[in-house]
């Protein structure tokens, strides 16, 4: 099982992750990205466990502030 994390505070809302991997990422009302179907955890970040990263790794590599973390 892998985990996708967005460090929400660091996100600058560029939209790259949502463009690259719409399966998991979307832009929220606050102008920053979120993980679809996820609420923020107690640390204020989004976390999602999955067996299928799809293009989430590419989205992480496309993030200009490197606030998407993939834990494998
Ligand atoms: S690519 Fe990074 S900075 Fe851009 S919207 Fe996604 S999480 Fe935010």
Sort strands 68-71 and 25-27 into parallel, antiparallel or unpaired: unpaired
Q: Which atom of ligand 1 is nearest to the CA of 18?
A: 6
* pLDDT one-digit tens code per residue, 14-50: 999 999 999 999 999 999 999 999 999 999 999 999 9
Computed over every residue of the chain, the mean pLDDT equals 97
Q: Domains in the chain, please, with CATH?
A: 2-71 (3.30.70.20)
The Cα angle at residue 25 between residues 34 and 47, in degrees rounded to 5: 55
Q: What is the pTM of this model?
A: 0.96
Measure the CA–CA gap between 16 and 64, rounded to whole angstroms.
8
Is any ligand 1 atom within 6 A of the Cβ of residue 60? no
What is the pLDDT at residue 67? 98
User: How remote is the CA of residue 42 from the centroid of ligand 1, in Å?
Assistant: 20
């Amino acid at each position: 099982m892998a985990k996708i994390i967005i460090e929400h505070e660091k996100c600058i809302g560029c939209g790259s992750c949502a463009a690259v991997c719409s399966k998991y990422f979307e832009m929220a009302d606050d102008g920053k990205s979120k993980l679809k179907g996820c609420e923020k955890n107690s640390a204020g970040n989004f976390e999602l466990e999955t067996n299928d990263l799809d293009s989430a790794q590419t989205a992480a590599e496309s993030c200009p502030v490197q606030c998407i973390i993939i834990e494998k």
